[in-house]
Amino acid sequence: MKYGIHLNQEKAEFPALWQAHFIDYDVLKGFLKTKMVDTNVRLSTAFPSTHVFQWMPATPDEPCFDQMLAQRLALVSKLTPEFVSMLDKEVDRFNRFFITVKAEIKNRVAHVLDTSRQAGVAECEAALSDLLLLERFVFLNFTAVAKALKKHDKWSGLQIREPYLVRTSQLSFVVSTSLLQLKPELMGRLTDLLAEQNVPLSTLVLPAGSDAIASATAALKDMAVVQPPLPPVGLKHAVLGDNAASPKLGPLVGLMLETQTVMISLRGPHGTDIIGGVLRCLSTHKCQIVDFSLSRLHHDVTFGVLVRLHNRDVDLFGDLAKTAQKWDGTLSFDVQDARLKASKLADSAQFALSEAPYAKRIKYIATVLNERGLTPEFLSEWLAWLLHKRISVEQMRRLDSRTTLMCVEFRLSVPDELSPDEMKSELIAISTGHQTDVALQTDNVFRRQKRLVVFDMDSTLIQQEVIDEIARIAGIEAQVAAITERAMQGELDFKESLASR
């Protein structure tokens, strides 16, 4: 589902007054889609991969290279400030509304927490509902800003997203922590009220062992104030102990259990500093790490991490942008709301960052080996075969430590309809043509946990013939070597040659 559609669906669930102050993502996207056509100054991505830049124009009507570049620079220098001005107005309008609503909700929460009066469960639930709704309002709109900036950078070739997000980190909707500080108090108050009034458990059922239970545990540890001794019928007990909650509390628990999944990638020349910078940000904002991936090319490192946010702490992105600036890195991230299904992930399956996200696949390991060195010609034909078969490369790992590349292990994601026998038959032809060994094995426990290995020894695992070495010690190396040679030429069978030697 496109984010614009998702945002409009979410927007419809908010009060009408709130809806009027959402970021107008459709207008921003429409501006980019209609105005920023043929403006991309990053020419390597602005044209199809088959496009060839000519030294001289092919026709008199075609602009020369410098004219084409000047036209694009002129357009982007005019349109980018217009876009930023539009976005500033949207963000400012949203931020001013946030300040107003925050003050109202803060007063309401303070009224509920006032110890001089007795607030009821309904009043406490309403205050908590408003607080959680405001958090969701902020996160949806911040995501709209980030996605609009991402589209701008893609279509213009400029990179303004990181510095723009650093700017937003100074605004109230990002730096406001007072509501987050009030939330644990409000949760504790609601826990006490439910215990005092013995609210019956009812309809909200969470399957035992589900991700929702784990999410609830983490969320409530952050949000609830546990006051010993905890009564048997409190908020934590309602959600976790009996896998149920009061009818009124059900929607609130749903809001609290919502998580945002964020894919973060930071690339730059300071390897360990980049990894440490990202992890410090995640630690500061109490993110849950789902998966990570690391790629290194000497000093250059790309560190990718998949995280879940259990609250709407958008300040994380500002801190990540500052970290990228500090270490000369390039930051990219994609927010994947829990309500927004990832259509690119087939059958709603979940995949590790190192996996190709396709369904109906079998994992294979292919080991390619040539003691004289793997040639570009072989590797090119090998990859062409993989592409033809729609086989995805998930990982490549060098296995040798020679000065020339000799052995590489590929982890492959193979469509399950491909015949193993047919694949091996085709690979034998490629292998023979390049005198390069290709071993294709299913990636399973039997491959990884070998208990018996059977192989030839002489001139295979080692470069020598052991019997010739024994003959050398005995002083008859020449005679035995001659017999060995006759056997290798087919003049003697194995038993006869062994007896002779």
Over residues 361-398, the pLDDT tens digits come to 999 999 999 989 999 899 999 999 999 999 999 889 99
pLDDT in tens, 205-222: 333 333 433 443 444 344
- Per-residue DSSP letter, 20: T
Cα–Cα distance measured from residue 320 to residue 266, given in angstroms and rounded to the nearest whole number: 9
- Both tokens of 30, joined, read 């429409």
- Per-residue DSSP letter, 38: S
Cβ burial, residue 253 (10 Å; 0-12/13-18/19+): buried
- What does the H/E/C string look like for 194-221? HHHHCCCCCCCCCCCCCHHHHHHHHHHH
- Per-residue DSSP letter, 231: P
Is pLDDT of 90 > 90? yes
Cα–Cα distance measured from residue 165 to residue 82, given in angstroms and rounded to the nearest whole number: 17
- Per-residue DSSP letter, 347: G
Helix (H) or strand (E) holding 396: strand 392-398
Is pLDDT of 187 > 50? yes
- Both tokens of 69, joined, read 């570049």
- Both tokens of 332, joined, read 């990219």
CA distances from 250 to 129, 195, 217, 235, 369 (A): 11, 16, 16, 11, 59
Supply the pTM of this predicted model: 0.60
- Both tokens of 241, joined, read 């102990």
Helix (H) or strand (E) holding 292: strand 288-297
Cα–Cα distance measured from residue 413 to residue 361, given in angstroms and rounded to the nearest whole number: 6
Who has greater pLDDT, 37 or 353? 37
Closest CA to 137 of 293, 312, 306: 312
Number of other residues whose CB lies within 10 A of the CB of residue 492 = 18
Question: What does the DSSP assignment read for 313-324?
Answer: -THHHHHHHHHH
Show Cβ contacts of residue 105 under 8 Å, excluding neighbours closer than 6 positions. Answer: 127, 130, 131, 134, 179
- Per-residue DSSP letter, 64: P
pLDDT given for residue 194 in this prediction: 67
pLDDT in tens, 406-442: 999 999 999 999 999 999 999 999 999 999 999 999 9
- What does the H/E/C string look like for 260-289? EEEEEEEEECCHHHHHHHHHHHHHHCCCEE
Number of other residues whose CB lies within 10 A of the CB of residue 210 = 11
Average pLDDT, the chain: 80
